[in-house]
């Protein structure tokens, strides 16, 4: 039970009925559909879909392989660039990346090739008898990776493939990071995140140690001394604060906390569900939270954002999902006050209408109240400061609250690298985190070899 919401009722529907609300958002293609869809691809020279892919997947090549019924060839091409291509095919915002760049958007059809679904088809139907990539000869080097999220897993796999031994330190009970704990349940179904982790570890040479928290029972100075290099894939685990009185009252919590509980729940009927809910934010996490609480049985869900729809970081596709699930969306309103009942529990939120004065967002002085039994904040995440609290970690240069890295993902401390959501700049995309991990692994490997040759 989530402590902050333990006073709320549980869903009226059965676990089986609730489970039906969290099946695949986008059902997979069958063989006939994949054949038809792959035939639509023009296999462009210097394909724009490939150029825009953050993980540099050769999109036209893998689609051609599907068309020619070479499914293993398609899968190998994808995994060579993105070892987490299965989850990315499900959660990646293809509508603003490869599919947006597809030339089919610009002809009479106005309908891009369904690249994400084709990528999923290839990886769901691959039939490798063993891991598709073999490890290189051992380098005798050992690298520590902190965080078993997309960046850390990608880094570990590539390092292992290059012949290095890797130990991953993960704070949670399971590997996967946001894929396991932070993505809407209807986007990654059937325990897919764990199946993908198991496949990735099949390369060998990777040890995962769970319950190991940097800044807690693991210190950066110790890892730096014990290993040939350290990669930090810390993510952004701390929810930002509204800065309002009553923020700790029962009924108000971070959306990422509820989503994690939902994804791990064996029985959905045990989750607390408010009759009326408010979600504050405008990103994919806010949309995920609003849609899921609606599907669990909330009667009224309102998403509130301080700016307009064009400024929302959630894509138009995500916004359409919210609207299709009867989520009310209120823009140009900023949280002003947490409303509490006589028992000190949340009973609503007061908002102030906002407006733009040039580029500056201002309050108008006009307020309104939205009754709610629970309020979920999804206003972004930041670094967990405890992670970088020891003496060595505190010397790692920061940039706007994130870790500063150079073009090869080196931090300001020699031998320590970082990637994913915790570094600046970053787009907070799974596919970009995977690319960071891959490129950081290549840099680590090259730096280690350079030291050996210099010696």
pLDDT for the residue numbered 196: 97
- Please name which of 177, 182, 66 lies closest in space to residue 123, comparing C-alpha atoms: 66
Q: pLDDT truncated to tens, each residue of the chain (455 aa)?
A: 588 999 999 999 999 999 999 999 989 999 999 999 999 999 998 999 999 999 999 999 999 999 999 999 999 999 999 999 999 999 999 999 999 999 998 777 779 999 999 999 999 999 999 999 999 999 999 999 999 999 999 999 999 999 999 999 999 999 999 999 999 999 999 999 999 999 999 999 999 999 999 999 999 999 999 999 999 999 998 889 999 999 999 999 999 999 999 999 999 999 999 999 999 999 999 999 999 999 999 999 999 999 999 999 999 999 999 999 999 999 999 999 999 999 999 999 999 999 999 989 999 999 999 999 999 999 988 888 888 888 898 899 998 889 999 999 999 999 999 999 999 876 678 999 999 999 999 999 999 988 766 65
- Assign 3-class secondary structure to the chain: CCHHHCCCCCCCCCHHHHHHHHCCCCCCCCHHHHHHHHHCCCCCCCCHHHHHCCCCCCHHHHHHHHHCCCHHHHHHHHHHHCCCHHHHHHHCCHHHCHHHHCHHHHCCCCCCCCHHHHHHHHHHCCCCCCCCCCCCCCCCCEEEEECCCHHHHHHHHHHHHCCCEEEEEECCCCCCCHHHHCCCCCCCCCCHHHHHHHHHHCCCCEEEEECCCECCCECHHHHHHHCCEEEECCCCCEECCCCCCCCCCCCEEEHHHHHHHHHHCCCHHHCCCCCEEEEEECCHHHHHHHHHHHHCCCCEEEEECCCCHHHCCCCHHHHHHHHHCCCEEECCEEEEEEEECCCCCEEEEEEEEEEEECCEEEEEEEEEEEECCEEEEECCEECCHHHHCCCCHHHCCEECCEEECCCCCECCCCCEEECCCCEECCCCCHHHHHHHHHHHHHHHHHHHHHHHHHC
Cβ–Cβ < 8 Å for 103, 173: no
Total-model pTM: 0.95
pLDDT for the residue numbered 454: 63
- pLDDT > 90: percent of the chain: 89
| Cα separations in angstroms, 418 against 66, 155, 376 | 35, 10, 30
Q: Are strands 416-418 and 402-404 parallel, antiparallel or unpaired?
A: unpaired
pLDDT for the residue numbered 47: 94
pLDDT for the residue numbered 384: 86
pLDDT for the residue numbered 1: 54
| Cα separations in angstroms, 314 against 118, 248, 278, 311 | 23, 27, 17, 9
Phi first, then psi: give them for residue 78, nearest 5 degrees: -70, -50
Terminal C-alpha separation, the chain: 57
Quick one: tokens of 347? 């009973």
* C-alpha span between 393 and 428 (Å, rounded): 22
pLDDT for the residue numbered 390: 84
- Please name which of 215, 425, 244, 276 lies closest in space to residue 352, comparing C-alpha atoms: 244
Q: Which domains does the chain have, with CATH numbers?
A: 31-124 (1.10.1060.10), 142-237+383-454 (3.50.50.60), 239-380 (3.50.50.60)
Q: Which residue has the tokens 């150029």?
A: 51
pLDDT for the residue numbered 330: 97
* C-alpha span between 303 and 289 (Å, rounded): 9
């Amino acid at each position: 039970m989530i402590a902050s919401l333990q006073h709320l009722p549980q869903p009226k529907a059965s676990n089986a009925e609730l489970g039906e609300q969290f099946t695949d958002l986008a059902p997979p293609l069958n063989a006939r559909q994949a054949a038809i869809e792959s035939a639509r691809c023009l296999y462009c020279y210097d394909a724009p879909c490939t150029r825009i892919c953050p993980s540099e997947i050769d999109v036209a090549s893998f689609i051609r392989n599907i068309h020619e019924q070479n499914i293993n060839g398609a899968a190998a091409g994808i995994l060579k660039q993105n070892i987490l291509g299965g989850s990315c095919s499900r959660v990646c915002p293809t509508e603003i990346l490869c599919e947006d760049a597809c030339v089919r958007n610009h002809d009479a059809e106005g309908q891009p090739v369904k690249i994400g679904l084709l990528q999923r088809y290839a990886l769901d139907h691959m039939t490798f008898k063993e891991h598709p990539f073999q490890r290189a000869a051992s380098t005798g080097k050992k690298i520590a990776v902190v965080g078993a999220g997309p960046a850390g897993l990608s880094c570990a796999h590539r390092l292992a493939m290059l012949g290095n031994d890797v130990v991953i330190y993960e704070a949670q009970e399971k590997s996967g990071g946001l894929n396991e704990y932070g993505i809407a349940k209807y986007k990654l179904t059937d325990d897919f995140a764990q199946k993908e982790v198991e496949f990735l570890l099949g390369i060998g040479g990777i040890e995962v140690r769970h319950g190991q928290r940097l800044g807690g029972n693991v210190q950066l100075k110790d890892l730096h001394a014990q290993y040939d290099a350290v990669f930090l894939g810390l993510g952004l685990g701390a929810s930002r604060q509204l800065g309002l009185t009553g923020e700790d009252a029962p009924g108000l919590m971070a959306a990422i906390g509820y989503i994690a509980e939902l994804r791990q729940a064996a029985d959905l009927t045990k989750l607390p569900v408010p009759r009326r809910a408010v979600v504050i934010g405008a990103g994919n996490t806010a949309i995920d939270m609003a849609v899921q609480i609606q599907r669990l049985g909330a009667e009224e869900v309102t998403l509130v954002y301080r700016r307009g729809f064009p400024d929302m970081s959630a894509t138009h596709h995500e916004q359409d999902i919210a609207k299709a699930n009867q989520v009310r969306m209120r823009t140009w309103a900023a949280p002003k006050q947490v409303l509490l009942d006589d028992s000190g529990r949340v009973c609503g939120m007061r908002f102030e209408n906002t407006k733009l004065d040039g580029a500056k967002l201002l309050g108008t002085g006009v307020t309104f109240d939205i009754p709610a039994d629970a309020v979920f904040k999804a206003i972004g995440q930041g670094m967990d400061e405890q992670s970088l609290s020891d003496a060595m970690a505190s010397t790692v240069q920061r940039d706007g609250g994130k870790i500063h890295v150079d073009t090869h993902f080196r931090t300001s401390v020699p031998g320590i690298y970082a990637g994913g959501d915790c570094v600046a700049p970053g787009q907070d995309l799974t596919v970009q985190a995977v690319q960071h991990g891959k490129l950081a692994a290549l840099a680590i490997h090259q730096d280690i070899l350079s030291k050996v040759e210099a010696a």
